[in-house]
Structure 1
Amino acid sequence: MRIAILDDDPAQLDLLQHTVKALGHDPHAFNNGQALMRALARDTFDMMVLDWELPDTTGITIVKWVRMQQGATFPILFVTQRSQESDIIEGLNAGADDYMIKPVRVAELIARLRAMLRRGYPQTGGVETFGEYKFDAGANLAEMNGERVDLKQKEFALALFMFRKAGRLVSRQQLRDEVWRSQADTDFRTVDVHMSRLRTKLRLRGEFGYQLVSVYSQGYRLEPVTLGSE
């Protein structure tokens, strides 16, 4: 998982990065709000951990912007010194999913991160079904409307990744990082070509309950579609 971390205290930022990395995730660190907002304009993350008091803005402002302007649904955790009940209520009402008071207790931080990721990205085993689409990760087999679809290895991985994140915007950068992993020289054109193939092979234009939408300059969103009754 790609996790954005925002804190202007270098020691806290280092601690949060180290903890996220130790859990096997990919931390992306920012020390001011504007830097994070610029990153969010072109990239996507699976979770965000942020402080309240920042040199150029507030964590509350960031959370509201993420929820209202971007419509982002990823989990958000406040890690802050503000400990009043009214602060906690304000943070959660602004759109955060959880709230942790500094000083950071690492074991508690790990537990909270794991719990939030479990809730935000529930893991399923074996065959995964999404409406008329079925994926067997063990056998690399895909079906659509009961019929097998021939997908190459990268196409299968990309399709399953997008279905698991249905409804969420996913940047080209994140797709490259998550699906191509060790192939750092993969360009965004390769990502676009694979997405075009998936749209055709899986008929992702809404007729079977999902449509693949390109979001200009950002990436893609696989949107569930409510099928009308005959």
Structure 2
Amino acid sequence: MKFAIIEDSRSQAEVLKALLRSEGHQVEVFADGASFLAAIETRSFDFYLVDWMLPDIDGDVLVTRVRERFGWEVPVMVCTARTDEECAADMLRLGADDFVPKPVRYMEFMARVDALLRRRRVRVPSELHVGNIDVDLDGRRILMAGAPIELTQREYDLAVVFLRNVGRVMPREELLSSIWAREADVDTRTVDTHASRLRKKLGLAGESGLMLTSVYGQGYRLDTVQAG
């Protein structure tokens, strides 16, 4: 899982990062709200941990933005020194799934993270439908207009990432780290090669109702179009 930690206390952020990484998660830390908002213009995370009181942008703005951009399926947890009932109610009303008071009790923090991840796994759908493409996530199969498409494991993984992020620019480096993380001998040209294959196999030049385009200097974006 990819976690985003938005926390201006470096020591606090490093401890939370170490805890999450010890469980096998990937973690990126943002020291202020502005850098986080800039980052989510081009990429997403699986879990958001937000400090409610940041030096530049309040946590309520960040939580609201996450919900607007990524919906209500992704877990959002707030860390805060404010524990009064009114503030707690505001956090939950604005879109936080849970909150942890500061100073953070680390065993409790990890237990709450695990609880949110369990809930997310229950809610994750087993199918995905975009354009003329259907994905059986449990069976790891992709069909176009009802016909099964033969894909390699990496082609399938890359296709699912694109189909889950329609309309967003996906940087090559992010795609490389999320799909080929354990393979040291690959570079971004591998992403280009697999994207080219997917474009042909899945009709991502418009035939399937989807268009995969290369964004110069950044990565790829999948958009819905009128099927040809």
TM class by shorter chain equals 0.7 to 0.9
Displacement of 1:109: 1.4
User: Which deviates more from structure 2 when the two are superposed, residues 189-198 or residues 106-115?
Assistant: 189-198
Aligned to 1:46: 46
Aligned to 1:21: 21
1:168, 1:105 → 2: CA distance?
39
Aligned to 1:72: 70
TM-score (norm 1): 0.74
Matched AA of 1:115: A
User: Which deviates more from structure 2 when the two are superposed, residues 111-120 or residues 26-35?
Assistant: 111-120
Matched AA of 2:195: M
Displacement of 1:59: 1.4
> Residues 53-102 of structure 1, C-alpha deviation per residue, up to 9 Å, x if partnerless?
1122221222223334xx12332110111111221222223332222212
TM-score (norm 2): 0.74
Equivalenced residues, count: 220
Secondary structure of the residue that 2:70 maps to in structure 1? coil
1:223, 1:21 → 2: CA distance?
33
1:120, 1:171 → 2: CA distance?
25
**1:44·1:174 contact (CA, 8 Å) conserved in 2?**
no
Note the 1:70-149 alignment, pairs <5 A.
Answer: 71-73=69-71, 74-122=74-122, 129-130=127-128, 133-135=134-136, 142-149=142-149
Secondary structure of the residue that 1:78 maps to in structure 2? strand
> Residues 26-70 of structure 1, C-alpha deviation per residue, up to 9 Å, x if partnerless?
1111222222223223332221101111122221222223334xx
Distance 1:187 1:94, change over 3 A: farther
2:167, 2:103 → 1: CA distance?
32
Query: What percent identity do the matched residue pairs reach?
Result: 35
**1:135·1:160 contact (CA, 8 Å) conserved in 2?**
no
> Residues 2-33 of structure 1, C-alpha deviation per residue, up to 9 Å, x if partnerless?
11111122231122111211221011112222
Aligned to 2:31: 31
1:46, 1:168 → 2: CA distance?
18
Distance 1:213 1:108, change over 3 A: farther
Displacement of 1:149: 1.8
Q: Which structure 2 residue ranges, 5 or more long, are not aligned? A: none
Secondary structure of the residue that 1:181 maps to in structure 2? coil
Aligned to 1:228: none
**2:128·2:137 contact (CA, 8 Å) conserved in 1?**
no
**1:3·1:48 contact (CA, 8 Å) conserved in 2?**
yes
Distance 1:111 1:211, change over 3 A: farther
Aligned to 1:194: 194
